Structure 1
Amino acid sequence: MTLKAVLFDLDNTLLDRNTAFRAYAGQLVRTYAAYQDEEQAQQWTSWLIAADRQGYAPKKQLYAEMLQVIPMRDPHTTVETLLKTWLETFSRHTVIMDGAVETLRRLRARGVKLGLITNGGSRSQQAKIDQAGFRPLFDAILVSDEVSIKKPDPAIFVLAITKLGVLPHHAVYVGDHPTNDVDAAVRAGLQAVWLRGKTPGEPKETGRYRTVDHLNKLEDALFHPYAAW
């Protein structure tokens, strides 16, 4: 078999979303919370990070809960205020995963088509893609909010490879989430590479994915040898 396309997850795969959210959460607390001292600010920042559930908590729910748990400097602060801040400022905290840009460029140099599939809201995800400078590197970008399909639905993977013009067995999906990325891609007929260490758990599918712990090891996993998968 010939590898013709590599598709990627965004958060905690190409972007270090955990690090970015820690910085954002600290800023949010210091901007809006009525904290008494630095220790309390750090405690509330830690609470917010945990409540975010690595980005899987719905934002309206997260900020409604935040208003119940953390006293605000301005008692008139609303969920809409916090959502607006999220949309306008979170992308500024974007952290590119070590080795991401170099890996994408090397794959393009090999003539491999590149795709991106990410769950999330259109505005926030597209802003992060632009902040990272990723857009010119990809042949297809799918954001779940824009196509009304989200991982782990295999249909979003099928849509992506259709846009790239490749068959499933000529494509590999790379992601950090055992279920939403690895298992879902395999069920869609793709091979998968699991970027281990960012999300708890392990994939349930067997035999059709490989594992790396850093993006600088991805090319070895992909090409040595792809035909053996």
Structure 2
Amino acid sequence: MIIKTDLIIVFDLDDTLYKEIDFLKSAFKDIADFLSKKTNKTAKLILAEMILAYQEKKNVFETVIFKNNIQGVVVNDLIKRYRNHKPNIYLTDSNKMLLDNIKQSVYKTGLITDGRCIQQQHKIEALGLNDYFDDIVISEAFGSEKPNINNFKYFVEKYGSHYKYVYVGDNTSKDFEAPNKLGWTSICLLDNGVNIHPQSFNTLPYKKPTFKIRSLTEIRDLLF
């Protein structure tokens, strides 16, 4: 068992601590409510049109504006609403219990997330994550995004290299390269079929995670 003062564990946010598709659906609902006031269609019907366009890999906002002949609204207006809305997303009970356990069991906890500050902060607030993490690195504020090694070195430079570091993420294209180079243990949460970004393990060895898990609860068995 790794004692508390030995371990610093850092998480990714999107598609790791919650499913990013839930943020997308929340944003689409907010936009559908907004657009329904400018058409004779219900928000429910507009939402269905948006989800269908997304599934068909179309430009969702362009499609819904054109299909409903909406005047006075452009794609950038909807992009802003998407990014800035306050999402209706939540942690699962099992993930809450895990984070509670980890917070009590390890020396420090961290979060590294790529994205715009407002959008990512709204997610963090909606999920109630501020109480779980000692340090939160958001790429826009930090000045670089994964796989830039500096986003990870931040923790080593702050706390020292004598601790054991673990990183938990999901994106095989950018999540594991930097922590692997730093000698961290890297853990990949496998896609359950709804991830925004597809996973591929047909990649160079230094980009592959140390471990793969199907549920975050498996972290307990790996580390404690």
Q: Judge same fold: TM > 0.5, yes or no.
A: yes
Quote the residue 2:71 is aligned against: 75
- Report deviation, 1:30: 5.4
With structure 2 as the length reference, what TM-score do the two structures score? Answer: 0.78
AA of the residue aligned to 1:48: Y
**Residues 45-104 of structure 1: CA deviation (Å, up to 9, x unaligned):** 23236659xxxxxxxxxxxx4453332453110234213322442x32223245222111
Structure 2 distance, partners of 1:16, 1:208, is 20
AA of the residue aligned to 2:215: H
Unaligned 5+ runs, structure 1: 53-64, 224-229
AA of the residue aligned to 1:83: I
1:4 matches 2:7: yes
Structure 1 distance, partners of 2:28, 2:129, is 24
Picking from 93, 115, 118, the partner of 2:110 is 115
The answer as to whether partners of 1:114 and 1:139 remain within 8 angstroms in 2 is yes
- Sequence identity of aligned pairs in percent? 21
Other structure's SS at 1:193 match: strand
Structure 1 distance, partners of 2:141, 2:168, is 21
Structure 2 distance, partners of 1:201, 1:102, is 29
Distance 1:68 1:19, change over 3 A: closer
Distance 1:208 1:15, change over 3 A: closer
Unaligned 5+ runs, structure 2: none
Distance 1:161 1:14, change over 3 A: farther
Distance 1:126 1:30, change over 3 A: closer
The answer as to whether partners of 2:26 and 2:89 remain within 8 angstroms in 1 is no
Quote the residue 1:151 is aligned against: 146
1:170 matches 2:164: yes
1:47 matches 2:43: no
Other structure's SS at 1:179 match: coil
Quote the residue 1:61 is aligned against: none
The answer as to whether partners of 1:172 and 1:191 remain within 8 angstroms in 2 is yes
Other structure's SS at 2:144 match: coil
Structure 2 distance, partners of 1:135, 1:40, is 34
Other structure's SS at 1:137 match: coil
Number of residues of Structure 1 aligned to a counterpart in Structure 2: 209
With structure 1 as the length reference, what TM-score do the two structures score? Answer: 0.77
Structure 1 distance, partners of 2:135, 2:7, is 14
1:184 matches 2:187: no
AA of the residue aligned to 1:15: Y
**Residues 130-182 of structure 1: CA deviation (Å, up to 9, x unaligned):** 1211112111100000011100112211113323x032871010011112212
The answer as to whether partners of 2:61 and 2:78 remain within 8 angstroms in 1 is no
